[in-house]
């Protein structure tokens, strides 16, 4: 989810929270000391809301900031099939699933890693012996 999408989603959710609380723009704006026009701009995504202002707005609705942000981030992964199946498991099954996925990270063919030869690295001093060893490794059959 891009930053623009996040702010758009924040705006939509703020408006929904306000409307479900039966509060007007003026009601909420007055409580936190901003203009109703500014709040309207937050809700319509024509202005980005600052974190501390967002936290103040969320307090009015009784919504935890971390939960609010995490629920927006979860929108990104809701379509992942693994989550659908994971949600179908009980707590014991979830523990087992996490264990098995962790095990998969130890199997090289499943890892998402790009190997870099020592002589291509920039964070260490490269020696002739390292280059020679890299060449030998690259030319091995396995």
Residues of the chain with pLDDT under 70: 1-4, 74-80, 112-124, 138-142
The pLDDT assigned to 132 comes to 80
**First CA to last CA across the chain, in angstroms?**
40
Distance CA 131, CA 135 (A): 6
> Can you tell me the distance from the alpha carbon of 58 to that of 72, in angstroms, rounded to the nearest whole number?
14
Residue ranges of domains in the chain? 3-74, 81-110
Query: What pLDDT, on a 0 to 100 scale, did the predictor assign at position 2?
Result: 59
Check residue 44 and give its pLDDT. 93
CB under 8 Å to 24, separation ≥6 — which residues? 18, 36
CA-based nearest residue to 48, from 100, 107, 8, 91? 8
Pair 39, 30: CB distance under 8 Å: no
pLDDT at 110: 77
Task: Give the integer Cα–Cα distance in Å for 107 and 142.
Answer: 16
Structure confidence at residue 120 (pLDDT) = 61
pTM above 0.95, yes or no: no
| pLDDT for 75 | 62
Query: H/E element holding 43?
Result: helix 36-44
**CATH number corresponding to 3-74:** 1.10.260.40
Instruction: Tell me the two tokens of residue 103.
Output: 């095990």
Residue 20 pLDDT: 92
User: What pLDDT score was predicted for residue 38?
Assistant: 95
């Amino acid at each position: 989810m891009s930053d623009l999408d996040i702010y758009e989603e924040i705006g939509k959710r703020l408006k929904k929270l306000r409307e479900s609380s039966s509060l007007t723009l003026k009601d909420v704006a007055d409580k936190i000391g901003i203009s109703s026009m500014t709040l309207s701009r937050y809700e319509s995504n024509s202005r980005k809301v600052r974190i501390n202002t967002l936290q103040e707005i969320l307090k009015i609705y009784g919504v935890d900031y971390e939960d609010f942000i995490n629920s927006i981030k979860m929108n990104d992964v809701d379509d992942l099939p693994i989550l659908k199946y994971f949600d179908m498991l009980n707590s014991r099954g979830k523990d087992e699933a996490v264990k098995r996925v962790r095990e998969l990270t130890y199997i090289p063919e499943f890892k998402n890693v790009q190997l870099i030869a020592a002589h291509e690295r920039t964070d260490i001093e490269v020696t002739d012996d390292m280059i020679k060893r890299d060449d030998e490794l690259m030319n091995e059959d396995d």
